[in-house]
Structure 1
Amino acid sequence: MASGGNQKFPPQKQESQPGKEHVMNPNPQYSNPDYKPSNKLQGKVALVTGGDSGIGRAVCHCFAQEGATVAFTFVKGQEDQDAHDTLEMIKKVKTPDSKDPMAVAADLGFDENCKKVVEEVTKAYGCIDILVNNAAEQYKNSSVAEIDESRLERVFRTNIFSYFFVTRHALKHMKKGSSIICSTSVNAYKGNQKLLDYTATKGAIVAFVRGLSLELVNEGIRVNGVAPGPIWTPLIPASFDEEETANFGSEVPMQRAGQPCEVAPSYVFLASNAFSSYISGQVIHPNGGVVVNS
């Protein structure tokens, strides 16, 4: 995780979304040995959508290290192995006073499924203190003409509809001091012609964060976002060809892709009232040095 250096990955390609972490070479780094937890989230209950792999896995791992009880969602049949691995990772680092983690299979593109996830989590843990809307999928395109109605709907359902659906049900179980964190992307700020529908959803997430933060400020619930740059996650080999994957991240000033463990502390910061109690409606940019207009 040096600051620069023209890092390359072995050429690789996965044929289905949302991608599988356990077959990637190298595996993404979900933990940092230099990270020192200090009970920042002790006693909190966190729900992380898309938490089985990539940034979601790293966030779950950090949250558990910080004392939170963690539940996460995954796609059944596609991410079973990754979900199992993440559960075991969380169990190893959870603090004694937190409850066992939970993995919930769901297609979050539909309101009823999101409602069931929230009900299952709150039945087990009683509340939700931290909600991380993180589930996403993306597909490469060469022009807007390639994006038909079914694909557009699929991407929007996962990437932004789910944020609305999960949030509206979770809010019934959140209280003053709770935090909502949404994963957006550097693409929302600089654009990406090869990921047009994905980029559009990420722009919508920024607007969602800003609007929802104003709605909930008087209830004492903070809403913020994280806009990662190029991060080595299963979305990358599942979206791009072998050559693009091999050179992924080389375009940013640090000349390399980031690792999930370099992004996860941003979520810890935004989740902790001790660190970010005066921050709402904002977006953090762990993006390898790309300067963006916020």
Structure 2
Amino acid sequence: MAAKEKTGNAFVETIKTIVYALLIAGVFRTLFFQPFWIPSGSMKETLLIGDFLFVNKMAYGYSYASCPSVMMPRFGIEVDAKDVCGVFDGDNTRLFGSEPERGDVVVFRHPVSGRDYIKRLIGLPGDKVQITDGVVSINGTAVELRDDGVFEEVMDRQGPQGMRPRCENGAVGAGGVCEKSRQIEVLPNGVEHAILNIGNQASDNTGVYTVPEGHYFFMGDNRDNSADSRLAQQAGGVGFVPYENLIGRADRIMFSSAGRSMLFFWTWRSDRFFKAIK
């Protein structure tokens, strides 16, 4: 009988340990850092498909969007942040809130779909933003641009979704070199970062966007391959993003894999481990 009691107690203790571990992990993810995989190429070359990072959730304070969403449709799991913290939604404020800075790479909740997006902050509340021939103007002044050679990558399927890159040098066969023009963009506050271009398209010439109070204007660094604030939310873009939808700032890449799975160690990009995000 004593042996059975010991076995029963050990089982209960194991369950308790698992529950406590999950609770601690949940609190850690909600309050401090949220893991994020880069699923698309919209932020190349700053962020590549397969980069893994932790989002600093303390950077801008907390809102309903700080609650983690768990989206695993393949397993029938779709727990949205609003399901857990929706009671705090709607006032566009934050607890212990601080303002993001222009040039920050930010993870935020899409205002319509609720999916997590990552883009660069270009326009602050009250700014007038316009893109002309691919050049961003903020409050009537064009940002500084410097040509910086060519970004090259192998034409191959990338990441778990197996997406192929778009190339400026036309149709490229599997295994060929896919090229994009690279420039260094300098924002008004002095933040410098690389942007990529593929060719002329509608998003390279826009009207003037006036960013509403309490909202922000985001763009991807891979300018011709990014659904961002240049496109209205109803048209599949991001539109203006409310302050309360910010989740956190991306500061550093922790791990990176170019393969279909992180277990394919031969595809790991060791040169990107612990790399600072600029």
Shared fold (TM-score, shorter chain, > 0.5): no
| TM-score where L is the length of structure 1 | 0.25
Structure with more of its chain in strand, by fraction: 2
TM-score normalised according to structure 2 size: 0.26
In terms of fraction of residues, the more helix-rich structure is 1
